[in-house]
């Protein structure tokens, strides 16, 4: 474990006490020196975390082995085209993006829902409404090619550790762990273990890949696309090495030029077996066993004559070609039969296409296509072929898919390769042989209103509560997160007033929401005004820009979708209610939306879909903070709200294509939240192992999962943060099956179940969230308990009552 000082506070990251990195050290590939990992004891968390609880990153109730990275966090309870492309990076993105969508359309029969190669429908005036300022946290141009990656720069991509600080922390291209030093790369297959509180990985490194002549002295990120990243190593002479890292690839590939290949291991090589090629154009294959028990398949083309010592393999001469490495999993003898058939094919480009929504009612769906371009003949890196339906069979990629892919794959036969012994934090991985991952995403319809029609008697009850809550529409918070929660709370009252026909209250609430948003989006007269960060390309708070620990890391792009989703919800309700009154706020609101969910790949001011990861099907929240466990996301409820608000906003403005796109992303985010953060106990066992008996994951990382939150480990926090805020979209993730399974008081079968957690919260805002969720099982019981609780500062009794009446369900009769 090491200590890392960021955000003006002392934050910890650990790779759990069993971690043995071996090598490499952070910046170079050493000889046999190991990076020593120690453990830190954490002080016990207080028995109860009071309302005034502030960020204390060392306090956790888990055992020392479960103390992990803690990021800055809010406490939610409180506050010629090709020639043109070569000379113009923006034009280059246009050409590449157009190519992605054309290939997906031609090869998969998919019509994109939105042409992301064109300017966004959200883009109005060219001039930003926010003042421009420079960020004091500068990109490290020693880590990336500034001619290949220009502003707007990525801030939340899964591989971002490569561009942060010294670039020493690992990335996690499932199923592998990879680190990239200045003189080469290293790779290992993490081993996962499950406890009652966490799923962790030991992150052992098996191989270092470099140049025996030590010519490689520099590494840069030299390109990125929708699914992965390219890293290039160079140095003296003509020596060069490149690798494209994508999630799910069975082989990790390194393309080498004029260098002497070196594969070094911290283990002894106990056997080395050359294999016969199945075909003349196949790469040379070697099976290698280490004294750790791990076995690997190494492929090279042209063939490399390896010289073996106890701990390394060295090529016999300067080499130009490629080397691939693949772990043989838990059944090497059978797995190698599959792997050697696919050796030699590797991805050189990745794209994602979201199709137009088809069907109607409950049968609506969209096709999601992750498409990979590959090397043409398994021996080159400049020309390519595709596996076009109906064309002669060609070599295809061997890759892995996550459980949510398997649930929806267009063709289950793609799983035929059947490799075993591979997994990620999200559970077992299945193998497919295809240049694309294509699946149908069901589209659940949501709108401004709830799913149930409000009865007249219920309207009267809501009206009575609304009258009381009309006296509580002030919002005094000055930071973007808690102000956002506050203005969204008032906007919910406005929406509810509209639904029940209370025009007088709606008019007053409309005036209040406009008055609240104007200082932020028009006048910039609030105490913490938003500004445009001209260094990275995004909108941040002034305080957050000056102090990385302020506003929950706002100035470092932490949680922007959580924060701005609240603003956009309020903006959407205003736009729907009175588009003319909303007009002065439109430019500012649209630019906030482009900050976190920009649907255009060619925007020069904001990156494309800042947080969303199309392979994992959900967002990452960590921003420009580097962690050994990779990216993370805690609050799935607020991620859902971000894309729900985006969808409503585009719909209110009449931007159909953009609204459809956001509706697809919303449904993907919700589906992944249900699958990975909201498991039933049976699903938790499948994904996280027998020891993990909980119905919720608090924080999901690239390489671990925690039953905890960043602000405490009480069970009501863990459940509640996966729900808030309560809107009609919340029902997408609060399913009856999940709540029934979680509403359990048997500490043996379901420790800290939702019922126990609600009682533990003792009628505060967290208890109200849990009782409100229970309304999908028993509306009447939930209503009585929820209305007896004191609301969170982002919620109201009116909203609680409305949600239960419009989304709840009467209790099922006994069987």
The pLDDT of residue 253 is: 98
> Going by C-beta distance under 8 Å and a sequence separation of 6 or more, which residues neighbour residue 656?
650
Query: CA-CA distance, 528 to 541, in Å (whole number)?
Result: 6
CATH class of 173-246+252-341: mainly beta
Distances (CA, A) of 432 to 60, 174, 229, 243, 248: 40, 14, 21, 21, 10
Orientation of helix 503-521 relative to helix 560-577, angle to 10°: 130
Q: 136 vs 82, which has greater pLDDT?
A: 136
Dihedral angle, C-alpha 44, 46, 51, 52, nearest 10 °: -70
Give me the pLDDT at residue 415, please. 66
Tell me how far the alpha carbon of residue 146 is from its chain's centroid.
Answer: 25
Whether 78 contacts 51, CB under 8 Å? yes
Which tens digit of pLDDT belongs to each residue from 301-316? 999 999 998 899 999 8
Contact at 8 Å (CB) between 740 and 750?
no
Candidates 398, 20, 466, 449; CA nearest to 205 is: 20
Helices in 262-368 by DSSP H: which ranges? 332-342
Instruction: Give backbone dihedrals phi and psi of 153, rounded to 5 degrees, phi first.
Output: -90, 150
pLDDT score at 82? 32
Size (the chain), residues: 815
Residues 352, 372 contacting (CB under 8 angstroms): no
Residue 97, classed as helix, strand or coil, is helix
What is the C-alpha to C-alpha distance for residues 523 and 517, in angstroms, rounded to an integer?
9
pLDDT in tens, 412-429: 656 666 789 999 999 999
* Max avg pLDDT among 106-120, 147-161, 404-418: 147-161
Average pLDDT, the chain: 84
Half-sphere exposure of 125 (CA within 13 A, CB side): 10
3-class DSSP state of 669: helix
Q: How far apart are CA 598 and CA 114, in angstroms?
A: 12
Q: What is the pLDDT of residues 322-368, one digit of tens each?
A: 999 999 999 999 999 999 989 999 999 999 999 999 999 999 999 99
pLDDT band, very low/low/confident/very high, at 394 (cuts 50, 70, 90): low
Take residue 316 and report the two structure tokens written for it.
């016999």
Residue identified by tokens 């990861």 is 613
For residue 106, what pLDDT band results from cuts at 50, 70 and 90? very low
Percentage above 90 pLDDT, the chain: 74
Q: Are 368 and 354 in contact (CB under 8 A)?
A: yes
Q: Measure the CA–CA gap between 203 and 586, rounded to whole angstroms.
A: 47
CA quadruple 649, 651, 655, 659: dihedral sign:
positive
Q: Give residue 532's pLDDT band: very low, low, confident or very high (50, 70, 90).
A: very high
Separation CA 168–CA 162 (nearest Å): 7
Residues 590/584, Cβ–Cβ less than 8 Å: no
Q: Which helix (H) or strand (E) holds 210?
A: strand 207-211
Q: How far, CA to CA in Å, does 738 sit from each of 608, 680, 682?
A: 33, 6, 11
Cis status, amide bond into 24, omega within 30 of 0: yes
Per-residue model confidence as pLDDT tens digits over 733-767: 999 999 999 998 777 777 789 999 999 999 999 99
CA atoms within 13 A of residue 210's CA, in its CB half-sphere: 28
| Res. 5: pLDDT tops 50 | no
Burial of 152 (C-beta count, 10 Å sphere; 0-12/13-18/19+): buried
The rounded Cα 764 to chain-centroid distance in angstroms is: 30
Q: What's the CA gap between 186 and 195, in Å, rounded?
A: 28
**Mean pLDDT score, 498-514:** 97
Number of Cβ within a 10 Å radius of residue 330:
11
Per the structure block, which two tokens stand in for 763? 């009628």
pLDDT of residue 126: 75
Helices (H), 265-402: 332-342
Domain ranges of the chain: 173-246+252-341, 353-442, 681-814
The yes-or-no verdict on residue 58 having pLDDT over 50 is: no
pLDDT in the model for residue 118? 83
How many alpha carbons fall within 13 Å on the CB side of residue 198? 24
What confidence score (pLDDT) does residue 282 get? 86
The answer to whether the beta carbons of residues 185 and 203 sit under 8 Å apart is: no
Q: 474 exposed, middle or buried (CB, 10 Å; 0-12, 13-18, 19+)?
A: exposed
Largest Cα–Cα separation, the chain = 85
Answer yes or no: is pLDDT of 71 > 50: no
């Amino acid at each position: 474990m090491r200590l890392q000082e960021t955000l003006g506070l002392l934050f910890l990251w650990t790779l759990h006490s069993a971690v043995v990195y071996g090598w490499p050290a952070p910046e170079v590939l050493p000889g046999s020196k190991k990076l020593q990992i120690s453990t830190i004891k954490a002080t016990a968390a207080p028995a109860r975390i009071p309302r005034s609880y502030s960020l204390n990153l060392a306090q956790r109730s888990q055992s020392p082995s479960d103390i992990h990275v803690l990021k800055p966090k809010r406490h939610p309870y409180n506050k010629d085209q090709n020639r043109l492309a070569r000379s113009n990076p923006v034009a280059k993105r246009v050409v590449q993006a157009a190519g992605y969508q054309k290939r997906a359309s031609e090869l998969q029969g998919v019509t994109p829902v939105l042409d992301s190669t064109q300017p966004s429908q959200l883009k109005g005036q060219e001039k930003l409404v926010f003042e421009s300022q420079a960020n004091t946290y500068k990109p490290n141009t020693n880590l990336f090619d500034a001619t290949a990656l220009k502003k707007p720069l990525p801030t939340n991509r899964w591989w971002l550790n490569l561009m942060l600080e010294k670039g020493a922390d690992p990335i996690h291209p499932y199923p592998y762990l990879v680190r990239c030093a200045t003189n080469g790369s290293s790779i290992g297959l993490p081993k996962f273990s499950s406890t009652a509180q966490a799923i962790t990985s030991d992150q052992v490194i098996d191989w270092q890949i470099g140049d025996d002549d030590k010519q490689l002295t520099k590494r840069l990120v030299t390109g990125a696309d929708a699914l992965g990243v390219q890293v290039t190593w160079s140095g003296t002479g003509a020596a060069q090495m490149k690798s494209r890292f994508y999630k799910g690839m069975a082989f990790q590939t390194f393309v080498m030029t004029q260098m002497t290949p070196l594969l070094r291991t911290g283990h002894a090589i106990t056997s080395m077996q050359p294999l016969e090629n199945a075909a003349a154009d196949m790469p040379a294959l070697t099976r290698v066993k280490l004294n750790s028990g791990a076995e690997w398949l190494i492929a090279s083309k042209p063939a490399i004559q390896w010289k073996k010592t106890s701990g390394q393999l060295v090529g016999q001469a300067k080499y130009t070609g490629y080397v691939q490495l693949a772990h043989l999993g838990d059944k090497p003898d059978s797995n190698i039969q599959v792997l050697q058939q696919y050796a030699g094919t590797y991805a050189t480009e990745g794209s994602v296409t979201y199709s137009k929504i088809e069907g109607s009612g409950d049968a609506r769906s969209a096709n999601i296509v992750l498409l990979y371009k590959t090397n043409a003949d398994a021996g080159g890196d400049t020309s390519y072929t595709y596996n076009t339906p109906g064309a002669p069979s060609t070599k295809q990629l061997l890759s892995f898919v996550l459980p949510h892919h398997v649930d929806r794959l267009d063709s289950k036969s793609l799983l035929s390769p059947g490799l075993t012994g591979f997994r990620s934090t999200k559970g077992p991985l299945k193998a497919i042989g295809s240049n694309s991952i294509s699946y149908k995403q069901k589209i659940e319809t949501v709108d401004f209103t709830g799913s149930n029609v409000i009865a007249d008697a219920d309207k009267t009850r809501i009206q009575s509560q609304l009258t009381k809550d009309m006296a509580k529409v002030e919002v005094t918070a000055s930071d973007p997160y808690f102000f956002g929660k506050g203005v969204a709370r008032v906007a919910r009252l406005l929406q509810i007033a509209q639904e029940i026909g209370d025009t007088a209250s709606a008019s007053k609430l409309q005036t209040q929401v406009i008055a609240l948003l104007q200082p932020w989006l028009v006048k910039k007269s609030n105490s913490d005004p938003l500004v445009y960060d001209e260094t990275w390309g995004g909108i941040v708070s002034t305080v957050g820009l000056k102090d990385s620990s302020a506003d929950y890391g706002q100035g470092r792009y932490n949680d922007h979708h959580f924060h701005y989703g609240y603003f956009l919800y309020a903006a959407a309700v205003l736009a729907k209610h009175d588009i003319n009154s909303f007009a002065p706020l439109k430019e500012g609101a649209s630019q906030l939306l482009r900050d976190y969910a920009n649907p255009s790949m060619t925007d020069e001011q904001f990156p494309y879909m800042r947080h969303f990861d199309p392979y994992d099907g959900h967002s990452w929240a960590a921003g420009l903070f580097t962690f050994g466990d990779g990216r993370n996301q805690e609050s799935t409820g607020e991620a859902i709200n971000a894309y729900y608000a985006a969808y409503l906003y585009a719909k209110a403005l009449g931007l159909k294509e953009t609204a459809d796109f956001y509706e697809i992303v919303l449904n993907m985010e919700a589906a992944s939240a249900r699958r990975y953060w909201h498991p039933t106990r049976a699903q938790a066992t499948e994904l996280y192992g027998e020891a993990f008996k909980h119905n919720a994951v608090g924080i999901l990382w690239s390489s671990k999962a925690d039953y905890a939150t960043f602000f405490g480990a009480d069970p009501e926090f863990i459940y509640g943060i996966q729900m808030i805020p309560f809107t009609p979209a919340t029902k997408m993730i609060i399913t009856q099956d999940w709540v029934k399974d979680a509403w359990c008081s048997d500490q043996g079968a379901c420790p800290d179940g939702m019922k126990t957690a609600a009682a533990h919260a003792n009628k505060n805002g967290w208890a109200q969230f849990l009782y409100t969720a229970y309304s999908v099982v028993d509306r009447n019981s939930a209503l009585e308990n929820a209305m007896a609780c004191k609301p969170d500062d982002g919620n109201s009794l009116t909203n609680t009552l409305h949600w239960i009446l419009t989304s709840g369900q009467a209790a099922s009769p006994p069987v």
